[in-house]
């Protein structure tokens, strides 16, 4: 049943059918589908297809924006499914944002949702975030991990700037710093001083979980 539903959700995204996607998301919630499975097997492949269609000129910017808004709204509904009991069991704090000069948020939002399914409290500081915003928010919220995302090659240099600013402000050792995004490769991520790199959603969730398990001894805080 879930496989059929996931395919229908993916198709609704690819066809930019907002009403159908809303209906199917409500159905997924009622059926109690696993959030991780839903994100991995329907929303992510759907939005990836939209991205490819935009790159090849099959759709244009308005359609790309519409798809992003559709998926974000659906993901918000899925996140609300997490019960108060589950929220009380959070085993650490992960903050994520998109670097300065980059306004892409679909990938960031998907990572935030995926990580939130691992009993981790997620603080999303949005897009176009300068280094000081990352640091100020991390200190204010007392997070364990700072996650920085970028989609554009031209904004990739903002990642080492953030690492440098953490050192400049004397707080680098307070946080784990992980990065991800289309133009990023693991070798470069480690060269700029990041503590970790994730290539996709599943990897990002597993990386955050492994860091917190290591910090808190198997998740015990």
Pull the structure tokens for residue 4.
Answer: 């059929």
pLDDT of the chain along its 221 residues, tens only?
589 999 999 999 999 999 999 999 999 999 988 887 888 899 989 988 988 888 789 998 889 889 988 998 998 888 777 654 455 567 899 999 999 999 888 889 888 888 887 889 999 999 999 999 999 999 999 999 999 999 889 999 999 999 999 999 999 999 999 999 989 999 999 999 999 999 888 899 899 999 999 998 764 43
Res 86: pLDDT: 57
Query: What's the fold here for domain 2-81?
Result: 1.10.1240
What pLDDT does 160 receive? 98
DSSP state of 128: S
User: What is the CATH class of 87-216?
Assistant: alpha beta
Residue entry with tokens 């997620």: 122
pLDDT score at 82: 61
Q: Provide the pLDDT for residue 94.
A: 98
Contacts of residue 138, Cβ cutoff 8 Å, sequence gap at least 6: 95, 146, 171, 174, 175
Q: What is the pLDDT of residue 52?
A: 84
**d(C-alpha 46, C-alpha 124), whole Å:** 22
| Domain limits, the chain | 2-81, 87-216
Nearest CA to 108 out of 163, 32, 179, 31 is that of 179
């Amino acid at each position: 049943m879930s496989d059929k539903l996931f395919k229908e959700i993916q198709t609704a995204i690819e066809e930019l059918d907002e009403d159908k996607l809303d209906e199917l998301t409500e159905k997924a919630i009622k059926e109690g589908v696993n959030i991780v499975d839903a994100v991995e097997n329907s929303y992510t492949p759907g939005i990836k297809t939209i991205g490819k269609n935009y790159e090849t000129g099959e759709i244009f910017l308005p359609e790309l924006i519409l798809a992003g808004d559709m998926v974000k709204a659906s993901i918000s509904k899925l996140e609300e499914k997490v019960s108060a009991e589950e929220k009380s069991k959070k085993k650490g704090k992960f903050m994520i944002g998109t670097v300065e000069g980059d306004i892409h948020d679909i990938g960031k939002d998907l990572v935030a949702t995926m990580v939130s399914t691992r009993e981790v409290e997620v603080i999303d500081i949005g897009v176009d975030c300068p280094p000081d915003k990352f640091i100020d928010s991390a200190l204010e919220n007392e997070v364990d991990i700072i996650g920085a995302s970028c989609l554009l090659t031209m904004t990739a240099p903002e990642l080492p700037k953030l690492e440098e600013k953490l050192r400049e402000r004397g707080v680098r050792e307070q946080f784990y710093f992980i990065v991800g995004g289309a133009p990023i490769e693991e070798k470069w991520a480690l060269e700029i001083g990041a503590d970790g790199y994730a290539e996709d959603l599943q990897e990002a969730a597993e990386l955050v979980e492994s860091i917190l398990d290591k910090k808190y001894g198997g998740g015990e805080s």
